[in-house]
Amino acid sequence: MGEWLGQMIEVDVTNIAHGGVSVARHDGRVVFVSDAIPGERVLVRITDDKKKSFWRAETVKVVTASKHRKDHVWSAASIDRDPDNRAGGAEFGHIELSHQRTLKAQILRESLERMAKVTHAPVVEVVPGDDERNGLGWRTRVSLHVNDAGNLGPFAARSHRVISVRDLPLATPELSAAAPLDQNFAGFERVDVLNPSSGGVRLIMGKQKPQVITELVGEREFSLLDSGFWQVHHGAAEVLTAAVQDAIDPELFDPAASNLDLYGGVGLFAAAVGDKFGPATKITTVEAESSATDHAAQNLSEWLGARAETGRVDRWLRQLVTGASATERARLERATVVLDPPRSGAGREVVELLASAAPAHVVYVACDPVAFARDVAFFAEKGYTLRAVRAFDLFPHTHHVEAVGTFTRD
């Protein structure tokens, strides 16, 4: 291995893969190619030939272009640049916007078919206003990195090399205008730039003390720390709130059951459930980060039956199911559970613990189609069927896609 590293070859791109890369073959070997579109012939440079089963490569030149190719929305990531100097974070920016969604839907559908043996074909839905802005101006949070010279920028695609840029077209106009791209930050490793719903743009650098910010979802306010998690797209929290509310079947929902919001953050989805079913709704949100739990308690204070607990979801569930009384088990069996795990998914242990509680209804918010499909298979093993799934384009010009799946007991 190693003799092909850095060499140029021409390949025909035949498919899309998870992770923002396309699929080609060379002498029978799979080659994962960045900055290409299925249907194209491209000249690529081999960047990784260590595996016997596949290589990785970067597109250097487009020989035969797809009809869906267009000029990249971000010049810093353009095909005209050497692959080593292309900014990361907009890996679908060379693809026509509606075709990006077609590819994302294909990845989700094929992941579910391959890993969970189920067939669902959701259309990737658009956040209102995104098409009018050509998928730009949506990011409310950007992490920028500092090189040895103190220059600020994003990492290059698939590396930790900092790329100096003049603009941030995926960021909101306010964030883009305020980002200190031309300033020197020697002595720091990273600068986070935030544009929350209120209070203006702010920078987070080094070990500065986190500050409380307010995010708005419709007319509802959520307090959280500026270092905490919140949806990146300015419209995502509102879109997902509505999607979770729509996913819950009123005939299955029992406001007096032991309803759960797992990986609950600052209470966004617990609030969505409470807003739909009323202030007496019983729901417990569980989050590992104690500062988020503190804010969840505040954000959910108007619901009499809402609680916020700190704990790792796997440990918390294990304690719940092993210590539940007969009465509590009956409440769990009538429950609706919303879970929004990290990109790695919930995983087998959490799915099995949750299934052992036997809730009537599960709504899963997923930000990774492969991890989601794997968990769908785990749920199926435990007697839960994926009844419906919707998908949302909350990350235009990237390969990421959000899904909301609804499960019921067989």
Q: How far apart are the first and last CA of the chain?
A: 49
Where is 271: in which H helix or E strand?
helix 268-277
Give the span between the Cα atoms of 38 and 106, in whole angstroms: 12
Give the span between the Cα atoms of 375 and 349, in whole angstroms: 10
The annotation status of 364 as a binding-site residue, yes or no, is no
Give the span between the Cα atoms of 166 and 68, in whole angstroms: 26
Residue matched to tokens 């500092």? 146
Count of beta carbons in the 10 Å neighbourhood of residue 389: 23
The annotation status of 287 as a binding-site residue, yes or no, is yes
The annotation status of 384 as a binding-site residue, yes or no, is no
Dig out the tokens for 56 from the structure: 């990785």
Active-site residue identified among 126, 273, 367, 371: 367
Are 180 and 172 in contact, with CB atoms under 8 Å apart?
Answer: no
For 265-313, strand residue ranges (E) read 283-287, 306-310
Point out which residues pair with 286 in neighbouring strands.
262, 309
The annotation status of 231 as a binding-site residue, yes or no, is yes
Is 367 a catalytic site residue? yes
- Residue 258 carries which side chain, given as an amino acid letter? S
Handedness of CA 330, 331, 337, 342 (dihedral sign): negative
Which residues line the annotated binding site? 231, 263, 287, 340
Which residues line the annotated binding site for S-adenosyl-L-methionine? 231, 263, 287, 340
Residues with a known catalytic role: 367
